[in-house]
Amino acid sequence: MTKASLSWRAHAAALLGLGVPIVGSYLAGFFIHVTDTVMLGWYGVNDLAAIVLAGTLWFLTFILGSGFGTALPAVVANARAQGDEAQVRRATRMAIWLTLGYGVLISPLFLFAEPLLLAIGQKPEVAALAADYLHIAGWSVVPFLLNNVLRSYLSALGQPSAVLVVTLVGFVVHVLINWVLIFGHWGAPELGIRGAAISTLISDTLILVLLLIYATRKFPQYDLLARFWRPDPQVMARIFALGWPISLQMVAEVGLFSAASVMMGWISAESLAAHGIALQLTSTTFMLHLGLSNAATIRAGQAAGLHDGRLLRDGALTAVALSALIAAVTIAVFLSIPGQLIGLFLDPADPAAPQVIAVGVGLVTMAALFQLADAGQAMAIGLLRGVQDTKVPMVIAAVGYWVIGLPVAYLLGFPAGWGGIGVWTGLLVGLSVVWLALAWRFWMGQARQVGEGTQGRPGPTAV
């Protein structure tokens, strides 16, 4: 890559060449967990409500430790642009160290899931089922976190298609085991929500093994596992400094949605189930923006490594335009067929299904309204990570989601009497505030600095 200008078509081709397989791998990985929601929705409404709660707690725990892997693409892309192969190896190893340490420490906490869920006001029967899931699936956090590191490493090295293939294999295995163990097919015991938990643990571990085999064989020059036990304090400190704000920024966002799930549980099991379905739908579309955002992070990291401000700005504009186009399409779909989308997750014979659909239609309509804000904040945060700006975005997210979005959700949902619509209005407000603030920071600040050579290398402004 040089400082010669690229056409918009070239920018789009480069971004999509990275982004499409990354989007595919994110969707495949996401659908591994959506499968639990769909199949348990067929199994029973209480099981569906339980997997919404369990999945929220599980994902929140994953997010808290995922920052080290999420920080990796910008560092690897930056190092490759500067021809520093040693830095690629050192950064990836220390990201694995930090991620593994967090995962080992946090996994046993899932054994105490039931009293925690009861303490935040959830129905006893739903909390018990959610705990059954987490006692098993909680151990899958470790392989899932390590999968995130290897996915970032391989994508930054130009191998997102390999990640996609491996994740698709894991998805197929997960669907098959779910079908067998949830419903008791092929002579297996009917385990319900515990069957979904076992399937999650097996598929996540399988993906880890396959990614690790591919990574070590495809790039033997980086020798990731040789002398793995040796610490690298300098690089570990850099990955930690970049990663912990990313984790907290994502926790702020996911925590807002988790708090919304708790509030929906205060209303009724049917409202919580409808919320879970609407959240799965909008999370599915978010995977498209998240994949493009990751590709934009890698491209921005390369531009920062070359100190090429024009490359960064033109690439960023292309990424924002593509993300806005996707948002427009999803808005149209959500507004056109909300009832049909909710119905995909339910057994029509279930007596609670009509009530869940009635609540869900309004929530999907709200989800359509915040598609543009959700896309915008995802792209802005990806671009800022590409230039290794993570601390201020963390503060922006915390204020936007928790100081503004959460109070609005509560006030409109309960004192104002809007119910679930009020809760989701708070989500829209929080996302919009964060989007505008992050976009302002990138375009008015960081995008201007790269061409002056003030980004793309370690230093006070880079973390």
Residue 125: band (very low, low, confident or very high) from pLDDT cuts 50, 70, 90: confident
pLDDT score of 1 more than 50: no
pLDDT score of 174 more than 70: yes
- Summarize the confidence of residues 236-245 as an average pLDDT: 92
What's the pLDDT at 329? 94
What's the pLDDT at 447? 61
Residue 458: band (very low, low, confident or very high) from pLDDT cuts 50, 70, 90: very low
In a domain, residue 410? The reply is yes
Residue 440: band (very low, low, confident or very high) from pLDDT cuts 50, 70, 90: very high
pLDDT digits (tens, 9 = 90+) for 188-233: 888 888 898 899 899 999 999 999 999 999 988 878 877 778 888 8
What's the pLDDT at 5? 63
In a domain, residue 343? The reply is yes
In a domain, residue 8? The reply is no
Angle ∠(390,396,400) on CA atoms, nearest 5 = 145
CA–CA dist 432, 219 (Å, integer): 41
In a domain, residue 59? The reply is yes
Higher pLDDT, 34 or 239: 239
In a domain, residue 341? The reply is yes
Domain count, the chain: 1
Helix axes 371-386, 67-81, angle to 10 degrees: 50
- Please name the helix (run of DSSP H) or strand (run of DSSP E) that holds residue 195, with its range, or none: helix 193-218
CA–CA dist 311, 140 (Å, integer): 39
Secondary structure (DSSP) of 300-350:
HHHHHHHT-HHHHHHHHHHHHHHHHHHHHHHHHHHHH-HHHHHHTTS-TTS
Residue 451: band (very low, low, confident or very high) from pLDDT cuts 50, 70, 90: low
Residue 39: band (very low, low, confident or very high) from pLDDT cuts 50, 70, 90: confident
pLDDT digits (tens, 9 = 90+) for 255-278: 888 888 889 888 887 888 888 888
In a domain, residue 118? The reply is yes
Residue 450: band (very low, low, confident or very high) from pLDDT cuts 50, 70, 90: low
CA–CA dist 434, 430 (Å, integer): 6
In a domain, residue 281? The reply is yes
What is the number of alpha carbons within 13 Å of residue 452 lying toward its C-beta? 6
pLDDT score of 455 more than 50: no
Specify burial of residue 188 (Cβ count, 10 A radius: 0-12, 13-18, 19+).
middle
In this structure, the number of other CB atoms found within 10 A of the CB of residue 153 comes to 27
What's the pLDDT at 457? 41
In a domain, residue 5? The reply is no
CB 200 within 8 A of CB 138: no
Q: Which residues span the domain enclosing 261?
A: 13-462
